[in-house]
Amino acid sequence: MTPEALTGGFAAPATEAAHAFRAALEAMARPGTLHRLTGATPPAPLSPAAGALLLTLADTTTPVHLAGTVDCPAVRDWITFHTGAPFAPADQADFAVGDWAALHPLTRFRIGQPDYPDRSATLIVELPTLSATGVTLRGPGIRDTAQLSLPEIAAFRANRALFPLGFDCYFTSGDMLAALPRSTIVEEA
């Protein structure tokens, strides 16, 4: 383990984790809203928002899958030191982190079972930019409509068709966070 892995966690873990957890809940409850996550300084290429999410949601009982460029020794050491989360193949992960292309094919991830739809993966998708523009979102937690800059439409429509099964997504870019639960309807803008 490198000495750099020992730094970059929350300075005030209880307070910062509580703020990050609240932002994660708000983002998932209100799809299309943007939230700022601060406090974590993970090693590159992991964004501060993705790092804060992992510090808040991952622990020794939640297997994590790293995809693409985030699957590197510096990120692995950082996650191991700060969360103790084990690493797992895509089909066994509770959380998967990577850019959109690296997470494909999405069929690798658990979508739950009819009697346990909660036993699905949550994807943390790293994006170059994140904004409240783009496709139109409708559904639970959205008053009329919302907009979000998603990497594509077809995958999220297919995921919605599986409801109540499917995966949930967090999108991160820098210190920004948004979410798209499987219950959200995604339409062309």
Q: Which CATH class is domain 3-187?
A: alpha beta
Q: Is residue 34 within a helix (H) or strand (E), and if so which, with residue range?
A: none
What's the rounded mean pLDDT across residues 78-86? 97
In this predicted structure, what is the pLDDT of residue 16? 96
- Whether the predicted pLDDT of 65 surpasses 90: yes
| Dist CA 39 CA 17 (whole Å) | 9
Structure confidence by residue, pLDDT tens digits, 141-162: 999 999 999 999 999 999 999 9
Q: What is the DSSP string of 87-108?
A: B--GGG-SEEEEEHHHH--GGG
Q: How confident is the model at residue 50 (pLDDT cuts 50, 70, 90)?
A: very high
Q: How confident is the model at residue 74 (pLDDT cuts 50, 70, 90)?
A: very high
Mean pLDDT of the chain: 96
| Dist CA 177 CA 127 (whole Å) | 10
pTM: predicted TM-score of the whole model, two decimal places: 0.96
What's the rounded mean pLDDT across residues 103-112? 98
Beta-carbon neighbour count of residue 62 at 10 Å?
A: 17
What's the rounded mean pLDDT across residues 103-115? 97
